[in-house]
Amino acid sequence: MKRAQASFDFLILWAILLIIFVILVQFMVVGRYTKSINTQTELRAQEQAEHVAFVINSLYLSGEGSNLTFFVDSSLAKGVAFNLTVYDEGFVVVDYLRTEQSVALLTHAVNQSVLSAGTHVASFQNGVITFV
């Protein structure tokens, strides 16, 4: 009877240790997955800001009378919503999840605008870049 009791106690101990191990591994995996999603979101935000800055800078370098059509995505990684603002101080800023990514522009001759998702036309007329 003692030997059977010792084997049963040993199995219970191993089961408890295995459960603790599985829980610890789960926390590690979930933490890394969350970090991966945050990194993807940050990179997509930076990509959006750089894309709009590239359009504005290209338009500015093309000169007066130029027009460019460009597209703004509706969300970042995993459906994270964001706001994209072009400031007349010469910055493009993407705000999301209480953080932001920004890119400097070559010019300050920009009408301050909040760009929604979809297709936009930027035009350089009368020394100012505007968005439609």
Backbone torsions φ then ψ of 127, nearest 5 degrees = 75, 10
For 49-85, the pLDDT digits (tens) are 999 999 999 999 999 999 999 999 888 877 888 999 9
Residue 1 has pLDDT above 60, yes or no: no
Buried b (16+ CB within 10 A) or exposed e, 54-72: ebbbebbeeeeeeebebeb
Q: What span, in angstroms and rounded, lies between the C-alpha atoms of 123 and 131?
A: 7
pLDDT tens for 16-59 read 999 999 988 888 877 787 788 888 888 989 999 999 999 999 99
pLDDT (tens digit per residue) in 95-119: 998 888 999 999 999 988 999 889 9
Where exactly are the structural domains of the chain? 2-131
Tokens of 89: 């101080």
